[in-house]
Amino acid sequence: MKNKIQGKSFLLNVLLNSSHGFDVGAAPEPETRGIWIRFVPRDKVTGIDGSTIVLLDTEGFYGEGATRSYDARVFALATLASSHLVYNTLRTLGDAQSVSALADLAKQAQVFNLQNWLHTGDAIADHLSTPMDVDPSLLLKTLDFPPLTWVVQGFDIGLLSSQTPMDHLQRYLAAHAHTGDRTLDTLFTQGIKCHTLRTPTDLNLLREVVGEDGLAADEELYPYLHPGYLSDVDQLRATIFGNLTAKGDFSGKELAGVLPLLVHYVNEDFPLNADRKLRDVLIDVVVDSAFSGGVQYFQLCMQTLPDKEKVLSSRRGKEVNIALAQVESAEGGARLSALASSAFTAEEIEQLLTSAERRAIDYCKQRCVGVPLAKSSPACEGQLGVKIARMKPRYREENDQRVREVLVLLGQGLRAAAEKEVDGLALPMRESDIQLRCNQAVKDSLQRYEALVGPHRGGRLYNEARVQMQTDIQNKCDKVYRINAEKISVILNRGKDGYRSAYEEAMTKEGCLSSPGSQAQAGSHELKRPCSTKKLTEISKTALAVARIALDKTVKEGGLLWLGTGDEQYDFQQYQCLQWTKQRLAEFQAQNDAKILAYCDHQAALLTIQYKEQVAKIAPFPDNDEVLTTKTDQLEKHYLNEYTALVKDYLPSTMVEDKKKELVRSIEELKLHLLRKNTALMRAYCYDPLMEAYKELRMQDCERSFDSMWRTRTFWSRKCLWPGPRYTFGFKYAAYIAARKQLDKAQAKSSGSGDGSSQGGVVLSSTTRNKVIQSWIEQDLAGHANVVFVNFSIVLAVIVGTLVTASWLFRGLMQAKSRMRPGNRSVRNSNGTYFGSPTHRDEVKREGYFGGLQQRTRRG
C-alpha cells in the first residue's frame, strides 16, 4: 500500500510470476478502488504452516475524492487482516514525508486506540462478563501489527557496497523518532525491512515489441521484464513468503466474535475512555451489529423470497401453474416464467414484506445474545421497524415494475396475434364486418389475457395493461379501417370513371349529338338533324342505365360484392354520379340547343334562298300588286309550312319560333322589295300619262331647285306663282288628281282599242295605280314641290303681312274718329281730370258718385 498509481497491483501480480491477476492500467489513472482480495492456489505457494495465502490489493492513499479518515480505515483493515504488510513507494529510498505519512495513518486508525485501551487493567478484568465471551488477550493478539516490508520500485541508483537499503531507511526512521513520535516503534514491533526493485523494463523497447495495443490488451508481459528486476522480485518473494504464517490461532467461532468488534471500531469514530467497561462497549457493538444484520437479513429475505413457493401454492393454485405453462410455451418463456414467479399481487407483496420484517426482527433479537431486553427491544423492534418501513416502498415499487413488465410481456403475444389477425383480413370488406372481427379479436385477447395473468386479475396494474392492450389492438383496427376505406375509395373512383366513360359513350353514340361546327362545315346536304328534347331525354335515360351497369360491374369486380343501394358509401357515390349526370346532361342540352339553333338558322337561310328564287320566277312581271301579293303569299305559306315541318320535333321552343319570325321578316322584306320593283317598273311603263299630268300641273315652268335659287339669288318664280292658289289644299293632292285623270284616260283609251299589252295601254288596279302615282310624286315631283312650296309661302307671307298692316291702320283711324265726335267731349273738373274720360269714369265707378254726377250735370 502507498500513494495512488505506484504499481501496487503490478507488484502483487509479479510476486506470483505473472502480469495478470489484479487489474493494471496502461494509462496514468488508478485502477484499484477499496480493497480487492485474491486467493493464491495452494499448488503455487503456501505459508510455512500450510495455510492458504490471500493477497489484499488496496486503494492507494491520497486518491481523488478520498479523505484522511477513509485512507486510515483502508490502512487499518489491511493491517488487521494481514500477516505481512508491504508498504510500496516509487524511486525514493526513504524520505521524511513517506515516514511521516505512515505514522499519521497509524495514529488516525481508531482501532489502534482500541489496542491501547485494551491494555488497561479495567478492560482485562472485565473480560469474564462480556456477552460474547471475547478474550481481551485474543483481541490484543488480533490487533498486533504484522511485519512491515518497505518496497521501493524503480530504484536504479547504485549504493555503496558497505551500505544496504535498510541502512538508508533506518536513518529516516531514527530521525522521525527523535521528533518524539514513537508510533512506528510502538506498532511495528515485529520489525521493518526494506527492499529495492529496479525498473521492470524499458517501456519504449516494450512498445516496439508488443506495440501500443499490446500494452493495453490482456497479454502476458512477464517474459518481457528485465532480468535484474526479476532477480530483485525473487529476493522480495523469499522475504515475504519465506516466514509467512497465519495471524493467530483462531477458530471460526472466535473470529466471528472478534470481527464485529473490529469492524465496528474501524467504521465508528467515538472516543474510548479508560473508565468505560468492555461489557458496555461490546453490548453497543452487538446491538449495532444486530441492527445492521437485521437490515441485511430483511434485504436478503426480499431478494431470495424463501417462502415464495408457499405463497404461490397457498394463494394462486392451479391457475398459476396453467399461466406459467402457457408462458413457458411462448417465445422467451423462461424469462417470462421467472418474471411471473417474481411478480406478486399487492396482497402477496404485503404478506412477504410482513413476513420478512418479522423474520428480520427475530434475527436481530437472536443476534443480541447476552444483551439485556431493555437495550435489544428498542433497536430490533423500534429502530429496525422504522428502517424497514422506509425500505418497503422501494420493494413495492420494484414489485409493481415487475408486475408491469410481466403484464406487458404476457400481453405481447396476445396483442401480436390479434394484430396479425386484423392485418390478415382480406380487404376490402364491409366496415361492419371489420368492426365485428376487431371486436372479436379484442374480446378473445382480453379473455386469454385475463386467464393468463392469474391472481393479478382485477388489480390496478392489470386494468392499466388491459386498457393499453385494448387501445393497441383498436389502433391497429383503426389503421385497417383507413386502409379499407382507401381501397374502397379507389374502387369507387374507378367505378365513377367507368360510369362517366359509359355515359359519354352512350350519349355520343347517337348521330344527332355530333358537333354543331362539324355539321355546319359538312354542307347543307350532309347536315344532320339534331335531337329533339324528348329524344335527348330518352337517350340520357338509356345512357344512365348503361352507366349504372358499368358502375356496378366495376364495384363487383373490385371485390365490393356487399356494396349496393342502402350502403352509405355506395349511395353517396351514386349521388355524386347523378349530380355529374345532371351537369353533363345540361351541357348536352346546351350543345343540342346550339345545334337546333344552327339547324333552324340553316334551314331558314335555305328556305329564304328558295323563296327568293321562286319569286324571281314569277310571271308576268310587272303586274298588279294584288296579283303579285297573292302569288308571294302562296309561296310564303308554302315555305313557312315547310319550315314548320322541318322543325316540328323541336316545338314548342322559343328559339325555333324566333327563327320562324326571322324567316317571316326575311320573306316580307323580299316581298316588299318585289313590290317596290314592280311599282318602279309600272311607273316607267306609265311614263306618257304621267308626263301629261306633269304638263297639266305646269311644272315645266317651275323646274327650279333650292340650289338654283341660291345660285341665282332668286327665291321665287312668277311663272310658278299663279298655280299656287290651285295647291291651297296640297300640292300632292293636286298632283294625284292630275295623274289619276291622265292614267284613267290612258286606261280608257287602251280598253277602247282592245289592246291589253303594256305597250298599247296600261291596265292598272286602283291599288297599283295609287302606288304608281305616289311613287311618281315622291321621286319625280319632289324638287318641283319644294319650289312651289317656297313660292306659295312667300306669296302667303306677303298677303298676311299686307292684311295685318291694313288692319292696324284701319283701327287707328277708327279710334281717332271716335274721339273727335261732339258727344264724346270731355269736361275738365276742378281737380284737373276731364269728365267723360276713361280715368274719370273709373273714379266715379270706384267712388260711387256716378249717379250724383249725372244729377248735377242734368241741373246744370
CA-to-CA dists, residue 20 to 24, 42, 218, 221, 238, angstroms: 8, 18, 8, 8, 20
Maximum Cα interatomic distance, the chain, rounded to a whole number of Å: 211
Print burial letters for 23-56: b (CB count within 10 Å at least 16), e (below 16). ebeeeeebbbeeebeeebeeeebebeeeeebebb
Whole-number pLDDT of residue 605: 93
| Shared domain check, 125 and 87 | yes
Q: Cα–Cα distance between 388 and 298 in angstroms, integer?
A: 8
CA-to-CA dists, residue 732 to 709, 740, 768, 780, 839, angstroms: 22, 12, 17, 12, 57
Beta strand pairing status for 54-58 and 35-39?
Answer: antiparallel
Instruction: Give one word for 17, left, alpha or beta, with left for phi > 0 and alpha for psi -120 to 50.
Output: left
| Shared domain check, 832 and 729 | no
Mean pLDDT of the region 640-644: 91
Mean pLDDT of the region 330-335: 52
Cell (9 digits) for 257? 466474535
| Shared domain check, 748 and 815 | yes
Residue matched to cell numbers 517474459: 223
Q: Which of 83-92, 334-343, 650-659 has the highest mean pLDDT?
A: 650-659
User: Confidence class of residue 12 from pLDDT cuts 50, 70 and 90?
Assistant: confident
Give percent above pLDDT 90 in the chain: 16
Beta bridge partners of 57: 36
Q: Which of 79-93, 261-275, 621-635 has the highest mean pLDDT?
A: 621-635
Total residues belonging to the chain: 860
Q: Cα–Cα distance between 736 and 733 in angstroms, integer?
A: 5
Tell me which amino acid residue 20 is: H
Q: Which residue has the higher pLDDT, 19 or 632?
A: 632
Q: Which range has the worst mean pLDDT, 44-48, 438-442, 837-841?
A: 837-841
Whole-number pLDDT of residue 127: 40
Chosen domain end from 682, 714, 733: 682
CA-to-CA dists, residue 62 to 48, 70, 72, angstroms: 35, 9, 10
Domain that holds residue 783: 686-825
Whole-number pLDDT of residue 670: 92
Q: Which residue has the higher pLDDT, 177 or 770?
A: 770
3-state secondary structure 64-75: CCCCHHHHHHHH
Whole-number pLDDT of residue 613: 92
Q: Which residues contact 818 (CB under 8 A, 6 or more apart)?
A: 824
| Shared domain check, 696 and 732 | yes
Give percent above pLDDT 70 in the chain: 66
Side-chain-side CA neighbours of 577 within 13 Å: the count stands at: 29
Whole-number pLDDT of residue 760: 42
Check which CATH number belongs to the domain holding 37 and give it.
3.40.50.300
Say if 265 falls within a structural domain: no
Say if 155 falls within a structural domain: yes
Asked whether the CA dihedral 229, 232, 236, 238 is positive or negative, the reply is positive
Chosen domain end from 633, 653, 682: 682
Q: Which of 37-46, 68-77, 488-497, 717-726 has the highest mean pLDDT?
A: 488-497
Q: Cα–Cα distance between 24 and 29 in angstroms, integer?
A: 10
Question: Closest Cα to residue 34, out of 89, 82, 96, 78?
Answer: 78
User: Confidence class of residue 411 from pLDDT cuts 50, 70 and 90?
Assistant: confident
What is the DSSP code (8-state) at residue 620? S
Say if residues 669 and 615 touch (Cβ distance below 8 Å). Answer: no
Chosen domain end from 248, 272, 292: 248
Beta strand pairing status for 148-153 and 85-90?
Answer: parallel
Cα angle value 21/24/29 (rounded, 5°) = 155
Mean pLDDT of the region 763-790: 78
Whole-number pLDDT of residue 776: 86
Say if 267 falls within a structural domain: no
| Shared domain check, 467 and 344 | yes
| Shared domain check, 113 and 70 | yes
Tally of domains within the chain: 5
Question: Closest Cα to residue 86, out of 53, 58, 110?
Answer: 58
| Shared domain check, 225 and 86 | yes
Cα angle value 238/242/246 (rounded, 5°) = 135
The SS3 of residue 150 is: strand
The torsion of the CA quartet 554, 557, 563, 568, rounded to 10 degrees, works out to: -40
Work out the angle between the directed axes of helices 384-423 and 278-304 (0-180°, nearest 10): 10
Q: Which residues contact 94 (CB under 8 A, 6 or more apart)?
A: 150, 152, 168, 169, 171, 172, 173, 194
Q: Cα–Cα distance between 634 and 837 in angstroms, integer?
A: 86
Q: Which range has the worst mean pLDDT, 15-19, 155-159, 735-739?
A: 155-159
Q: Express each pLDDT in 529-549 by its tens digit.
A: 888 888 888 999 999 999 999
Say if residues 536 and 592 touch (Cβ distance below 8 Å). Answer: yes
Residue matched to cell numbers 288628281: 737
Cell (9 digits) for 445? 385477447
| Shared domain check, 292 and 177 | no
Whole-number pLDDT of residue 763: 75
Chain centroid to CA 766: 94
Print burial letters for 536-567: b (CB count within 10 Å at least 16), e (below 16). beebbeebbebbbebbbebbeebebeebeeee
Say if 754 falls within a structural domain: yes
Whole-number pLDDT of residue 843: 52
Print burial letters for 114-132: b (CB count within 10 Å at least 16), e (below 16). bbebbebeebbebbeebbb
Mean pLDDT of the region 781-790: 67
Cell (9 digits) for 610? 328558295
Q: Which residue has the higher pLDDT, 42 or 754?
A: 42
Say if 489 falls within a structural domain: no
Whole-number pLDDT of residue 172: 75
Say if residues 530 and 563 touch (Cβ distance below 8 Å). Answer: no
Print burial letters for 240-259: b (CB count within 10 Å at least 16), e (below 16). bbeebeebeebeeebeebbe
Q: Cα–Cα distance between 194 and 179 in angstroms, integer?
A: 22
Q: Which residue has the higher pLDDT, 856 or 34?
A: 34
3-state secondary structure 346-406: HHHHHHHHHHHHHHHHHHHHHHCCCCCHHHHHHHHHHHHHHHHHHHHHHHHHHHHHHHHHH
Q: Which range has the worst mean pLDDT, 110-119, 122-131, 586-595, 727-736?
A: 122-131
Whole-number pLDDT of residue 244: 83
Mean pLDDT of the chain: 75
Say if 274 falls within a structural domain: no
End-to-end CA distance of the chain: 188
pLDDT at 783 over 60: yes
Mean pLDDT of the region 306-335: 48
Q: Which residue has the higher pLDDT, 759 or 604?
A: 604
Mean pLDDT of the region 427-442: 90
What is the DSSP code (8-state) at residue 47? -
Q: Cα–Cα distance between 580 and 507 in angstroms, integer?
A: 14
Q: Express each pLDDT in 467-494 by its tens digit.
A: 999 999 999 999 999 999 999 889 999 9
Q: Cα–Cα distance between 584 and 334 in angstroms, integer?
A: 70
Which runs of E-coded beta strand occur in 737-851?
A: 827-828, 834-835
User: Confidence class of residue 619 from pLDDT cuts 50, 70 and 90?
Assistant: confident
User: Confidence class of residue 390 from pLDDT cuts 50, 70 and 90?
Assistant: very high
Say if residues 284 and 270 touch (Cβ distance below 8 Å). Answer: no
Question: Closest Cα to residue 87, out of 174, 191, 229?
Answer: 191
Whole-number pLDDT of residue 194: 85
Cα angle value 775/777/778 (rounded, 5°) = 65
Whole-number pLDDT of residue 728: 47
Q: Which residue has the higher pLDDT, 180 or 336?
A: 180
pLDDT at 844 over 50: no
The SS3 of residue 39 is: strand
pLDDT at 850 over 80: no
Q: Cα–Cα distance between 830 and 677 in angstroms, integer?
A: 91
| Shared domain check, 212 and 145 | yes
Say if 547 falls within a structural domain: yes
Say if 675 falls within a structural domain: yes
Q: Which range has the worst mean pLDDT, 1-5, 285-289, 699-703, 793-797?
A: 1-5
| Shared domain check, 570 and 479 | no
Q: Cα–Cα distance between 236 and 554 in angstroms, integer?
A: 98
Whole-number pLDDT of residue 665: 93
| Shared domain check, 129 and 169 | yes
Tell me which amino acid residue 441 is: A
Q: Which range has the worst mean pLDDT, 152-166, 311-325, 406-420?
A: 311-325
Mean pLDDT of the region 575-589: 92
| Shared domain check, 454 and 375 | yes
